[in-house]
Structure 1
Amino acid sequence: MLLPCWKRVAPVLAAVTLLGSGCTKSAEIPAAPAPKAAPAPTPAPTPAASPVAAAPSADPSQVLTGIPGMDFSALPPAARRELATVFTDEFCYCGCPHALGACLKQHTGCKHAKRMARLSARLVSEGGPASEVIVTLSKYYTSFREPRTALKVDPRMCQGDANAPVTVTEFSDFECPFCGKARPILEGFARKHPTQVRFCFLPFPLSIHPNAVPAAQAVLWARDQGKFWQMHDALFGQQENLKPEALPALAKSVGLDGDKLAAVLKTEKYKDEIEGFRSQGRMAAITGTPAVFFNGRAYDLGYQEGLLEHSMEDEVEWRANNNAWAAD
């Protein structure tokens, strides 16, 4: 799993197969008490008539079988046990009075239950215990109803259709190794869905990285020369050597005047703009990098393509139904 440069709490996916948090627990952000994960909302009492929802224990052979169109037999035994517990203890986000497992069997027309089941199976397959998966699910689905953050992006620092229904915004630091790992996954995801996803980059240099600010200056200068993405890629390709004196050579490698960049780096030309990006990040309550938002909604599932696509599909549905889930 992939973690970010920060002190973020990432319950289940703090270790997504490549990325889940970021520059974690590395003093990337001034020390502060780690936020406690919000407890899952207390569901309404389950009707006694629902035997699966009321089961005191989760027997995979009973809970995970007999579900129309779904087969979880490929999961390892330990993951099946955890998934059975999730199906027994967590309620479907469609709002019906059933635990997820009962909804899958009794409310067979519910498309939301099937999507939630697939997401749950993916999370337990990553090794997440049921208790953490339930917290992650609750946090994820609750995030759709929470206030969105209005993020100001620069079109020159975006890829994809400006009219796409989903804008994915990433706060990133060129010296953050987790940002470097997340980059190809996020960009590949955006390229795979050009009509549905617009991907925008916002620099968020962390104070613990001594060369993060000069690198941010360099990419903003390159943007003004019409070569933002070329310089962006060059900087990530040289993450271990971003000292100011090395940046002019990178500029030359993408066809820009290195001497002019060297002169800019001696000034504070982009100081206010960089601070503006940082202010946006602080207003969005980010605690490290990479930090990703889907239409202003904080995203915290992890950086696997399947998880990104799952959230994209949810976001498209949510937006198409005027900030609500589509009726079953």
Structure 2
Amino acid sequence: MNATKKTVLAALAVSALACRSASSGPAPGGQATAPAGVAPLAANATPEEVVPGVSLEGLSDDQKAVVAEYARSEFCHCGCPHTVSQCLRTHASCKHAPRQAGLAVRIAAAGGRVADVRKVLGEYYASFDRRARLDPTDFGPPLGDAAAPITIIEFSDFTCPFCQALRPTLEAFVKERADRVKLFYKPFPIESHPGALEAAQAGEWAREKGIFWTMHDALFTTPDHSLDGLAETARQAGGDESDLRDALATRKYLAKVRGSQAEARAAGLHGTPTLYLDGRRHSLDFAPESLERSLADEEEWQKNHGWDRD
């Protein structure tokens, strides 16, 4: 199983533990009927006919059938009285249906069945009206343009291998969209990881010294999070290693790290890395395609104070 499939299936597992909000859109699993003026599909319509314009390349016949069944039975979350399939076939102006169908394709490609697609996307759409109150004020500067309209807050651990794996993808994603989104890093050290709590404090020391992102990159790339290792990392980042040693000895930044952890737990964080887009937990995988769809949906939601009604 490749890395993309693993991350998508991980999203399936996480979403299975979450509750749905009833106000995000029609509940999944209902029987949708064709509104007046929308011709029904033939029972033997091909998946390509069910989701026109959506790439099914690389999917098996069974996986295509999963996407087709989902698109036939689930409403488009743009808010119109049509299924995803009906919206794709009759409303060329709807920008949302192709994104929703594209997410279904990704989940099916990772081995998800129709129930999995409904569960993951049900949780995803429910997240838009469940917002955590997260304050990035003392955790700047952001990566990207500070004036960008959408804020991503990442709760992360410098010693976490999953956070390390996400880092280049997430940073490239933000840099390529600097006018659309900015990224704040907030610490959530997993304290069973050796050196995690100390590395998080070192990051906050670097933030106060104005060298956060340089230190951030160095902390992710060094395997040595001992006191001596952190001091050397500080020196390489352009900081005063003696000053860092003193800060760690006095635990100067421990309360700040603890505050970040408490805020994350209150927001429902279960592990690292976890991303929040303007307070909405990103419940999909971390592939660039999923991040882009999540960002585009967030932009639509913010612009219209809800979904753009087709």
Which TM class, normalised by the smaller chain length? 0.7 to 0.9
Classify the secondary structure of the residue corresponding to 1:170. Answer: strand
1:169 pairs with 2:153: yes
Asked whether the equivalents of residues 157 and 201 of structure 1 are also in contact (C-alpha less than 8 Å), the reply is no
**Aligned counterpart, 1:283:** 266
- Matched residues in 1 for 2:112 and 2:28: separation? 21
- Matched residues in 1 for 2:18 and 2:239: separation? 47
**Aligned counterpart, 2:198:** 214
Change (3 A) 1:68 1:132: closer
Higher helix share: 2
**Aligned counterpart, 1:69:** 53
Change (3 A) 1:73 1:254: closer
1:16 pairs with 2:21: no
Asked whether the equivalents of residues 231 and 254 of structure 1 are also in contact (C-alpha less than 8 Å), the reply is yes
TM superposition score normalised by structure 2: 0.86
* Aligned with 1:184 (options 164, 168, 188): 168
* Aligned with 1:91 (options 49, 57, 75): 75
Task: For 1:1-328, list aligned pairs within 5 A.
Answer: 15-16=6-7, 35-36=17-18, 38=20, 41-42=27-28, 45-47=31-33, 62-65=46-49, 67-154=51-138, 156-238=140-222, 240-321=223-304, 323-328=305-310
Asked whether the equivalents of residues 28 and 118 of structure 2 are also in contact (C-alpha less than 8 Å), the reply is no
Report the RMSD for the aligned CA atoms in angstroms: 3.0
Classify the secondary structure of the residue corresponding to 1:210. Answer: coil
Counterpart amino acid of residue 149 in structure 2? P
Q: How many residues align?
A: 302
Classify the secondary structure of the residue corresponding to 2:151. Answer: strand
Gap regions ≥5 residues in structure 1 = 4-12, 26-33
Shift of 1:45: 4.6
Change (3 A) 1:198 1:41: same
Classify the secondary structure of the residue corresponding to 1:169. Answer: strand
- Of 266-275 and 98-107, more deviation after overlay is shown by 98-107
CA distances 1:20-79 after superposition (whole Å, capped 9, x unpaired): 56xx99xxxxxxxx9355498256653377785796xxx6x5243265534535433232
Counterpart amino acid of residue 146 in structure 2? A
- Matched residues in 2 for 1:167 and 1:2: separation? 30
Shift of 1:205: 1.0
**Aligned counterpart, 1:7:** none
Shift of 1:235: 0.7
- Matched residues in 2 for 1:303 and 1:184: separation? 11
Counterpart amino acid of residue 287 in structure 1? H
Counterpart amino acid of residue 185 in structure 1? T
Change (3 A) 1:214 1:100: same
Classify the secondary structure of the residue corresponding to 1:105. Answer: helix
Counterpart amino acid of residue 265 in structure 2? R
- Of 290-299 and 46-55, more deviation after overlay is shown by 46-55
Shift of 1:318: 1.1
Classify the secondary structure of the residue corresponding to 2:46. Answer: helix
Counterpart amino acid of residue 86 in structure 1? Y
Shift of 1:233: 0.8
- Of 186-195 and 210-219, more deviation after overlay is shown by 210-219
Asked whether the equivalents of residues 2 and 303 of structure 1 are also in contact (C-alpha less than 8 Å), the reply is no
Change (3 A) 1:54 1:301: farther
TM superposition score normalised by structure 1: 0.82
